[in-house]
Amino acid sequence: MPLDFDNRFVRELPGESLSNQTTEDAGRSPSRQVLGACYSPALPVKPTAPKLLAHASEVADLIGLNDAEVQSEWFLDAFSGRKLLPQMEPFAMCYGGHQFGHWAGQLGDGRAINLGEVINPRGERWMLQLKGAGPTPYSRSADGFAVLRSSVREFLCSEAMHHLGVPTTRALSLVGTGDMVVRDMFYDGRPKREPGAIVCRVAPSFVRFGNFEILGARNDLANLRKLIEYVIRTDFPELVSSHKAIDSECIAAWFREICRRTAEMIVHWMRVGFVHGVMNTDNMSILGLTIDYGPYGWLEDYDPTWTPNTTDAQGRRYCYGQQPQIAYWNLGRLAEAIAPCMEDKAAIEGAMELYVETINTQWQSTMAAKLGLSRWTSDEDSLIESLFELLRATETDMTLFYRLLGTWQVHPSAHEQPAVRVQRILEHFQEAHYRPEERKENYAKRILDWMDRYEARVRQEQGEPTDRRSIMEAVNPKYVLRNYLAQEAIDQAELHGDPSRIMQLLEVLRNPYAEQPGMEQYAKKRPEWARNRPGCSTLSCSS
């Protein structure tokens, strides 16, 4: 067998006792409260007619597989849930979480089944997880399956984020099941049958903040301690030697690292314009990875209050501009959960302060790079705030604006007729504006004023003019997974049975910062037909 399994999670942590049930019975029995355990056995449901629709060759290589093996019958069996490989020990995790700011109690892997952990040829540990393979003890009233549209979005976005340089879980494969799944996309009483699909997700660990919250909420301190020690030794081995006991000081260092990694992830989200859409604590990775791609979206029109999630349309708790604050709040809930295992409570405050410091310092360096500046000065605060106001002044595509700013020619001197200059500016950035004809009368003056300030700052730089563009194009992507692009791939696969657009889009997204001649159609701003179309502008947790 080409995969080398070492299922440490189920070997070292307490699982739900099967009592008189067989593994198969336990894996498919009705949902229930699971006490005194970190996981439950769970088995995938065999699909009727599985078909491999897409795969990421880089992820296959990550776990030690080549493309020929990916195309094999055993691969389709294993990653559709049709058959288990001999060393697989499938399970679903038990966790809780705060959803939209309120404690929701037990949640758990309702439609995710972990197949096991593989050790790749480089000695790295990777968990393999099927999403949409059927019910688990944590499915509550749901069926545990996933539809093609949500699975395409998860598959593509996992890989798109990786190639953008954003910490994320990965996606190995997308498999159509041949079965139909009933979904009410917007919970409005209009369910319909849709084709089912399964994504195999890959990550060093899928442990979330909620894994610790559920044990803390139940005062299950013995298992809380076991889980903390397991995660530190498995995923943060640099914090403790193999023979050293994990004390309060070590746990504090671990929490600091979680805060630091989470801050770095959020800065990356903000840099590329990603909006997660449902930042519940059960959707926060302990490794600082982007996890659970549901009603996400890409900030096209620059609006910090925008959220793609229809469930969040009123409160906008998880909108783009709120993401740094929400991550901080979520870290606070994790801190409350693990606090009984820490003696020095001041260390928690220090870790939370580190989160804020990391966000601030990395955001400053990120914004300096987005503007093509080699360093951050005190003047940049005003310059950037004025820029954000300018982007909000008319409907401006954030991704396109920064790329166009990178191609703007800054002359050695500022001598140019104002009327000529402002016309040159407006023409240069016209492609970034969704409705350029609606720019207000004072917009020309505002963008001229800002460009004067920006160019004056650029002239202070010591490098060559080409350096600015190089700096900017390393952090400002040209290609992002705009929702309408994903929807076009979904439509072609779902309506016409042709999944080729998925792999074509993935190929473009592998090089998001490059120009890629001939692929410019994937860098265009959202077309008007997608402005209000479901799946392009609005999504739900069922999306």
What is the pLDDT, as a whole number, of residue 542?
55
Strand partners, 51: 176
What is the pLDDT, as a whole number, of residue 185?
75
What's the CA gap between 467 and 472, in Å, rounded?
A: 9
Work out the burial of residue 378: count CB atoms within 10 Å of its CB; fewer than 13 is exposed, 13-18 middle, 19 or more buried: exposed
Report H helices in 180-314: 209-217, 221-235, 248-272
The residue ranges of the chain whose pLDDT is under 70 are 1, 18-29, 186, 412-414, 540-543
Residue 475: both structure tokens together: 């952090």
What is the pLDDT, as a whole number, of residue 534?
85
Place of tokens 């606090």: 339
What's the CA gap between 471 and 181, in Å, rounded?
A: 46
What confidence tens digit (pLDDT) does each residue in 233-267 have?
999 999 997 778 899 999 999 999 999 999 999 99
What confidence tens digit (pLDDT) does each residue in 189-237 have?
788 999 999 999 999 999 999 999 999 999 999 999 999 999 999 999 9
What is the pLDDT, as a whole number, of residue 463?
79
Place of tokens 């599985």: 50
Q: In 3D, which of 20, 6, 142, 103 has the Cα closest to residue 542?
A: 142
- Maximum separation of any 2 CA atoms in the chain, in Å: 86
What's the CA gap between 172 and 156, in Å, rounded?
A: 10
What is the pLDDT, as a whole number, of residue 413?
64
Residues with catalytic annotation? Answer: 282
